[in-house]
Amino acid sequence: MGNFVKHFNELTPEFYSAAGGKGAMLARMFQGVYPVPEGFVILPSAFNEQGLDNSAWQEIEAYLKDIIKNSGGSAFFAVRSSGLSEDSALASFAGEFETVLNVEADKVRDAIHTVFKSTESERVKVYSSVHGFEERHKIAVVVQLMVPSELSGVLFTADPITGSHTSMAGNYVHGLGEQLVSGEANANPFRLMRPKGKYDGPKEFKQYAEELFRYANNLENDYNGPQDIEWALAKDKLYILQSRPVTSLRTINYDSYEINESLDGDFLWTNNNVGEAIPDVMTPFTWSLIRELDIECQRITGYYLWSGNICGRVYTNVSMLLSIMPQFGLSLNWGKQLIGDVFGNIPNDIEVPLYPFEKVALIKELIQRGKKNVKRIKEAQKNKQYYLDFTQRWCNEVLKQIDDFNSRQQLLDLWLNEIRPYVSKLWNAWLGGASSTTLVTLRKRLIKMVGEEEANRLLSNVRGDHGLESLGPLMGIMEITKGELSREDYMAQYGHRSPHEFEMSIPYPIEDKEYLDKQITEYKKSGVDVEELLQKQQEQFRQAKERFDLRYPAKRKWLEKNLSKIRLTAQDRESLRSEFVKTFRVIRCFMLKLGELTQIDNVFFLYCFEVPDLLRGDDSMLRHLVVRQQNYDLYKTLPVMPQFIRGRFDPFMWAREEDRRIDYFGPRTKRLPCDENPQVIKGFPGAAGKIEGNVRLLESFAETESFLPGEILVTSTTNVGWTPLFPKAAAIITDIGAPLSHAAIVARELGIPAVVGCGTATSRLKTGDRVIVDGGQGLIEILSRK
């Protein structure tokens, strides 16, 4: 109608921010065919310092007449606030502003004034100050048809305390809902059990429970998270009066980069595998780009393989993955074994909470997404050679354009039309074009046939005759010392490989003029002959293969065929990952150029989805960069976090505990048994071999200069950037890792004994401790303490 007032049916997205949290949500639900009582929103532009503008009142009168007419000639109204900060993801102002109920049409203007003036109340000022809202509130006002409630209630779609999604918890009172909010009447509690909404509560509401469950489930899905829903029942009709996020379960504040996705529910998380690839605290830019890529190949809603985020650290929600298994008649134990090689074995003492999927909806989603994934994988496999051959050239061309461009429009076009699409395609080629499924399957089969230690020997020659990209940084340094490779060619091939290669705010080796000299010096000082290590490993592989042929002569060709297949797959996977990382270095250069053009120093505290907006001239996000960086810096002060996390996890409280565990956090943490023998540490067999030696504990790759040849490396995690150090190590021990993790694969290629995924090694071992490492059995025996 006008610019001051919008009916729920007229409120379009450009007015959402002006309508406030409540007004926007009511309009969206009304338009989404939820049973929301008719109403309208009075926008902040309708008010001056004294109150309501006269011209706005004329619009309001017209709406009131229409609603009264639609209601049969008589109606009462509810007049509520919709502050621009109200019911946001940051805080809920519910109850802080005034609400006026059962208002007759001729009293509506007075009620609007009462609500408007409540922004100046003392309680609002105090609440605002506590939650960081220092400015005076701009306010919209909602006028809505009053429902003569026979029952009024609330429903939480997840437990607001534990975050559990196993049921929805609600309660109700007879009459108006104000009695429930104020506590004037005793509430009747009830539960709706997932996945089908089975009702547990008073009989009088049972016949309406199914309908409420359906609306609640849809609201949670439509608005991306647990909801706090107000509802009412009048004349056998169910109404939705409001829905807002459950603030205690909100996992991210995008403005400030306060992020902890463990708060959303009772799930089991692990940093095995993904924490090895991305060991750093992620900046907002890095995390948001990986999250976008993750969503592109997502198998089920809410499952993020690469971008689960707990205070900047990457975690995977394995509960979501394992919850699929029982829906298809598969046991949880079978599922745990299936993912064990990738995420590590989940100890039997750790309970895996399951998400209550609705089977039919899950199957539909899996089929729908599965079709897209099959298409993506086929396309990736078809084009993978193109990306292996062309990516270096693409990087060189784009880097030149970044260097030459000097306008925002040029960078915007480059980002939207070249960089962002290419990164997505290469991501799909890497993850879809070279799956590790065959390796997992073959390894499990070989373990049954010859045992885990011998199976690891048989799988130790994946580089074959063509080499393995993750060994490249090490082999390249050896070739430089022999005069077989120039420094320039080394940097062109391996200058993007780094312990921090997925975190784009950290410079890559190619940007460090001293990096290569340090690596060459360390390699020469070590006195290690890498070729001799490789030859020794190949001999161990040959002997293991001979033993297999003697034991299973009929399986000789089968083994060779499968080993050949996994070699090609592993080589492709490693090579595609290397090419993909090159694009991250290009993006780093792009962001630095963006910072230069816009005079922004902390560009990596932008989210990647903000980049186009900034280049188009919208700089509204810049005011948030300082607080985002402060939270990022705060996350970096945390110690290495647990290998497994169950439920809602506060890392700052955990870090203050003197007896904290780094292998597991959860409701039974202190009752879970540690290793029975305090002199023995258990992990996963990474690479066969048994050796005795002295420990060197390294907190990070930056400490590697202190590492002496022949010491046993103990660290939280390693990745391809650590490879040049490996030949100096007599053995390798990590907290994070699994049989198919980087440390295990590279150690097997070099014939270095390794035990990975120990969980507690860095807390139980210190530099100078004497230990025996049995890589074949996954055991470390502590002989003496320094």
Q: Left if phi > 0, otherwise alpha if psi is -120 to 50, otherwise beta: which for 443?
A: alpha
Domain membership of residue 180 (yes or no) is: yes
| 440 falls within a domain | no
Q: What is the CATH number of the domain that holds 82?
A: 3.30.1490.20
Reported as a single tens digit per residue, the pLDDT across 183-230 is: 555 789 999 999 899 999 999 999 999 999 999 999 998 888 899 999
Per-residue confidence (pLDDT) for residue 185, from 0 to 100: 59
Round to whole Å and give the CA distance between 741 and 686.
8
Per-residue model confidence as pLDDT tens digits over 481-524: 999 999 999 999 999 999 999 999 999 999 999 999 999 998 99
> Cβ distance 762 to 735 under 8 Å?
yes
Q: What is the domain-level CATH number for residue 678?
A: 3.50.30.10
Return the biggest CA–CA distance within the chain.
Answer: 97
Same domain flag for 82 and 61: yes
Size (the chain), residues: 786
141 and 171 share one domain: no
pLDDT beyond 50 at 94:
no
The verdict on 33 and 136 lying in the same domain is yes
Confidence of residue 92 (pLDDT cuts 50, 70, 90): very low
* Cβ burial 542-561 (10 Å sphere, 16+ → b, else e): eebbeebeeeeeeeeeebee
Q: Which two tokens stand for residue 444?
A: 């499990």
Q: Return all residues near 34 (Cβ < 8 A) that are at least 6 apart.
A: 215, 218, 219, 240
Residues 67 and 179 in one domain: no
Write out pLDDT tens, residues 694-726.
Answer: 999 999 998 998 999 999 999 999 998 999 999
Residue 499 C-beta-side C-alpha neighbours within 13 Å: 19
Q: Indicate if the pLDDT at residue 285 is higher than 50.
A: yes
Does residue 661 surpass a pLDDT of 60?
yes
Q: What average pLDDT does this structure show over 753-780?
A: 94
Which helix (H) or strand (E) covers residue 35, if one does? Answer: none
For residue 224, the model assigns a pLDDT of 80
Pairing verdict, β 308-310 and 313-317: antiparallel
Please indicate, yes or no, if residue 373 is contained in any of the structural domains: no
Assign 644 a pLDDT band (cuts: 50, 70, 90). Answer: very high
Answer whether residue 192 is part of any domain.
yes
Q: CA Rg, the chain, in Å?
A: 30
Least confidently predicted of 36-45, 61-70, 358-367? 358-367
Structurally, how many domains does the chain consist of? 3
End-to-end CA distance of the chain: 81
431 falls within a domain: no
Whether residue 473 is preceded by a cis peptide bond, meaning omega within 30 degrees of 0, is: no
pLDDT in tens, 563-582: 999 888 888 889 999 999 99
Q: Are residues 61 and 183 in the same domain?
A: no
- According to DSSP, the β-strands at 664-665 and 644-646 are parallel
Whether residue 583 contacts residue 496, with contact meaning beta carbons closer than 8 Å, is answered with no
Of the three residues 90, 117, 145, the one that is the final residue of a domain is 145
Q: Do 99 and 155 fall into the same domain?
A: no
What pairs with residue 697 in β-bridges? 714
The full DSSP string for 314-376 is: EEEEHHHHHTTGGGGT--HHHHHHHHHHHH-PPPTTS--------HHHHHHHHHHHHHHHHHH
Q: How far is CA 289 from the centre of its chain?
A: 11
Q: How many CB atoms within 10 Å of residue 114?
A: 19
d(CA 731, CA 687): 9
Rounded Cα distance, 170 and 185, in Å: 15
H or E element, residue 654: helix 651-655
- Spatial distance between the Cα atoms of 416 and 783, rounded to a whole number of angstroms: 58
User: Is there a single domain that holds both residue 94 and residue 219?
Assistant: no
Q: Is residue 510 part of a domain?
A: no
Co-location of 129 and 205 in the same domain? no
Q: Which amino acid is at 389?
A: D
Query: Stretch 134-162: mean pLDDT, rounded?
Result: 85
Burial of 369 (0-12, 13-18, 19+ CB in 10 A): middle
* Contact predicate 700/776, CB 8 Å: no
CATH label of the domain that carries residue 157: 3.30.470.20
| Position 179 pLDDT exceeds 90 | no
Q: Closest Cα to residue 58, out of 129, 17, 4, 127? A: 4
Token pair 């320094």: residue: 786
- 356-391 pLDDT, tens per residue? 888 888 888 888 888 887 887 788 778 889 999 999
Decide which of 112, 130, 145 is a domain's last residue.
145
Q: What is the mean pLDDT of residues 644-648?
A: 93
- Half-sphere exposure for 581 (CA within 13 Å, toward CB): 28
Q: How many other CB atoms sit within 10 Å of the CB of residue 683?
A: 26
Task: Mark whether 19 and 138 lie in a shared domain.
Answer: yes
Locate 25 and state its tokens.
């949500």
Q: Is the pLDDT at 426 greater than 70, yes or no?
A: yes
Nearest to 683 by CA among 642, 733, 726: 733
DSSP code of 41?
E
Whether 183 and 104 map to the same domain: the answer is no
Confidence (pLDDT) at 90: 44
Contacts 24+ apart (CB under 8 A), 700-707: 700/499, 701/499, 701/725, 704/522, 705/518, 705/522
Distance CA 21, CA 177 (A): 20
Write down the pTM of the prediction. Answer: 0.83
Q: Are 36 and 136 found together in one domain?
A: yes
Q: Tell me what pLDDT residue 181 has.
A: 56
- Does residue 415 or residue 433 have the better pLDDT? 415
Task: Give the Cα separation of 214 and 168 in Å (integer).
Answer: 11
Both structure tokens of 466:
């063509």
The pLDDT of residue 180 is above 70 = no
- Which residues on neighbouring strands pair with residue 82, listed in sequence order? 140
Backbone phi, psi, residue 119, to 5°: -65, -20
Can you tell me the mean pLDDT for 466-481? 90
- Which range of residues forms the domain containing residue 221? 151-249
Task: Say what the pLDDT of residue 87 is.
Answer: 44
Question: Can you tell me the distance from the alpha carbon of 272 to that of 757, in angstroms, rounded to the nearest whole number?
Answer: 7
Tell which of 128, 145, 162 closes a domain.
Answer: 145
Give the pairing type, strands 712-715 and 690-698: parallel
In a domain, 193, yes or no: yes
Q: How confident is the model at residue 93 (pLDDT cuts 50, 70, 90)?
A: very low
The tokens of 362 are what?
Answer: 């899950």
Residue 258 lies in a domain: no
Q: How far apart are CA 58 and CA 68, in angstroms?
A: 16
Same domain, 222 and 124: no
* 580 touches 422 (CB < 8 A): no
